[in-house]
């Protein structure tokens, strides 16, 4: 198969999003260095209960192998909601959905952002790569004072350096992230106050809040030659209203990651689970859950309620823009789970617990 430069550039968005490729050149990231562990061999991280990421050959097979069914998304969708958060929340927890995997969580006087992305594209380029199809549910100018940012891993739709730089310039928050991602952040903006932690590390946030980094079935990269040179994680956030399990990206596998969180952390008040970027399944199932997987993950982790995310903002894969939310209702009905127990918000919508 001969691929012209034009065809490669035209397909860059899908390649970058699905395979975590930043461009067809060597990554300029400085590699993480640290002691060998049960999930780090001295050079790269790995999931003992997972699988390696897809190869470049498999990426090209998906993109150019024929028989692909990529649904067209509308160029732009106007939001029905827009949130203006209060300066702080002292009682309970207020969760505002920004879009994709980005959330604002307000509790105990603290304002916490999850995987914040306010950029128009999730890509190293301003002219190529997956672009937004709706506005953030909170305008950047309406954000309250941000105290802490949690960044789950290095893929561009989760670790957005331009947004982190804007947040640093305006609020100077702590940025909590898995090992190695602090190197990425520091190489882009040395002012970012990144603190890197390993799986199972528990970090005090103040005000009685704490977060623990937990294993998740995924992987990470910023370029062709830095796959798994940094770590990825989910989060368990301890709040006055109970523990919130925040899964920013994950495949399902046999569900062991979710069951282990239940065993290690006990009762969970809420789970935030991804439901999008899942087609085609032969390529995506090891790294992204579909709605049926997410319903099984809810049963495994045992959370009282769940909120869905990672859908309808950036077209990373082949399903239609509304397919994840429609399929979630079908999966809930098939599993005999009440729809109100697992809800997919739209950007700008708010839940309080």
Q: Is the pLDDT of residue 327 over 90?
A: yes
* Secondary structure in 3-state letters for 195-246: EEECCCCEEEEECCEEEEEECCCCCCCCCCCCCCCCCCCEEEEEECCEEEEE
**pLDDT, tens only, 13-38:** 444 434 333 333 334 456 799 999 99
**pLDDT, tens only, 258-277:** 999 999 999 999 999 999 99
**pLDDT, tens only, 33-76:** 999 999 999 999 999 999 999 988 898 899 888 778 999 999 99
Structural domains in the chain (count): 1
- Name the token pair of 103: 């959330």
What is the average pLDDT score of the chain? 91
Tell me whether residue 325 is in a domain. yes
Tell me whether residue 191 is in a domain. yes
- Name the token pair of 176: 């909590």
Tell me whether residue 28 is in a domain. no
Q: How confident is the model at residue 223 (pLDDT cuts 50, 70, 90)?
A: confident
Tell me whether residue 305 is in a domain. yes
Provide the whole-model pTM: 0.92
Tell me whether residue 34 is in a domain. no
Are 211 and 237 a contacting pair, CB within 8 Å?
yes
Are 243 and 235 a contacting pair, CB within 8 Å?
no
Dump strand ranges (E) for the chain: 93-99, 102-107, 110-114, 148-150, 174-178, 193-197, 202-206, 209-214, 234-239, 242-246, 270-274, 305-309, 342-344, 350-352
Q: Report how far apart, in Å, the C-alpha atoms of 352 and of each of 46, 106, 134, 238, 265 are.
A: 36, 9, 23, 15, 22
Q: How far is CA 273 from the centre of its chain?
A: 9
Question: What is the DSSP-derived secondary structure letter of residue 141?
Answer: G
Res 10: pLDDT:
41
Query: What is d(CA 20, CA 169) in angstroms, rounded to the nearest whole number?
Result: 27
Res 63: pLDDT:
87
Q: What is the CATH number of the domain that holds 105?
A: 3.60.15.10
Tell me whether residue 334 is in a domain. yes
Which residue has tokens 């399929």? 327
Tell me whether residue 304 is in a domain. yes
Are 154 and 181 a contacting pair, CB within 8 Å?
yes
Q: What is the span of the domain harbouring residue 265?
A: 93-352
Alpha-carbon torsion (122, 123, 125, 127), positive or negative? negative
Query: What is d(CA 82, CA 227) in angstroms, rounded to the nearest whole number?
Result: 37
Residue 280 preceded by cis peptide, ω within 30: yes
Tell me whether residue 46 is in a domain. no
Query: What is d(CA 133, CA 157) in angstroms, rounded to the nearest whole number?
Result: 13
Q: Which residues contact 105 (CB under 8 A, 6 or more apart)?
A: 93, 94, 95, 96, 111, 112, 113, 114, 237, 239, 244
Q: Is the pLDDT of residue 310 over 90?
A: yes
**pLDDT, tens only, 147-189:** 999 999 999 999 999 999 999 999 999 999 999 999 999 999 9
Q: Is the pLDDT of residue 4 over 70?
A: no
Q: How confident is the model at residue 325 (pLDDT cuts 50, 70, 90)?
A: very high
Query: What is d(CA 59, CA 29) in angstroms, rounded to the nearest whole number?
Result: 22
Phi, then psi, of 292 in degrees rounded to 5: -60, -40
């Amino acid at each position: 198969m001969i691929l012209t430069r034009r065809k490669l550039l035209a397909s860059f968005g899908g390649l970058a999003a699905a395979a975590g490729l930043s461009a067809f050149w060597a990554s300029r990231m400085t590699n993480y260095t640290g002691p060998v562990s049960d999930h780090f061999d001295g050079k790269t991280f790995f999931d003992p209960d997972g699988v390696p990421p897809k190869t470049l050959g498999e990426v090209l097979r998906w993109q150019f192998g024929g028989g692909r069914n990529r649904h067209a998304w509308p160029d732009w969708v106007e939001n029905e909601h827009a949130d203006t958060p209060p300066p702080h929340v002292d009682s309970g927890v207020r969760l505002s959905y920004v879009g994709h995997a980005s959330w604002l969580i307000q509790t105990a006087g603290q304002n916490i952002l999850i995987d914040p992305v306010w950029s128009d594209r999730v890509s190293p380029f301003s002219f190529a790569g997956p672009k937004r199809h709706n506005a953030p549910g909170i305008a950047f100018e309406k954000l309250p004072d941000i105290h802490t940012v949690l960044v789950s891993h290095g893929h561009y739709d989760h670790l957005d350096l331009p947004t982190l730089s804007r947040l640093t310039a305006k609020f100077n928050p702590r940025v909590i992230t898995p090992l190695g991602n602090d190197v990425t952040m520091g190489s882009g903006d040395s002012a970012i106050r990144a603190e890197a932690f390993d799986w199972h590390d528990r970090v005090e946030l103040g005000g009685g809040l704490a977060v623990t980094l937990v294993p998740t079935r995924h992987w990470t990269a910023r370029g062709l030659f830095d796959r798994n040179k940094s770590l990825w994680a989910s989060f368990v956030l301890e709040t006055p209203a109970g523990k919130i399990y925040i899964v920013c990206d994950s495949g399902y596998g046999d569900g062991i990651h979710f069951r282990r969180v239940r065993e290690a952390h006990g009762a969970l008040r809420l789970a935030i689970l991804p439901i999008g970027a899942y087609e085609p399944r032969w390529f995506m199932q090891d790294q992204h859950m579909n709605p049926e997987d997410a319903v099984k993950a809810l049963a495994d982790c045992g959370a009282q309620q769940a909120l869905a995310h990672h859908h309808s903002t950036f077209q990373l894969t082949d399903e239609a823009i509304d397919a994840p939310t429609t399929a979630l209702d079908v999966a809930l009905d098939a599993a005999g789970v009440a729809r109100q127990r697992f809800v997919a918000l739209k950007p700008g919508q708010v839940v309080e617990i």
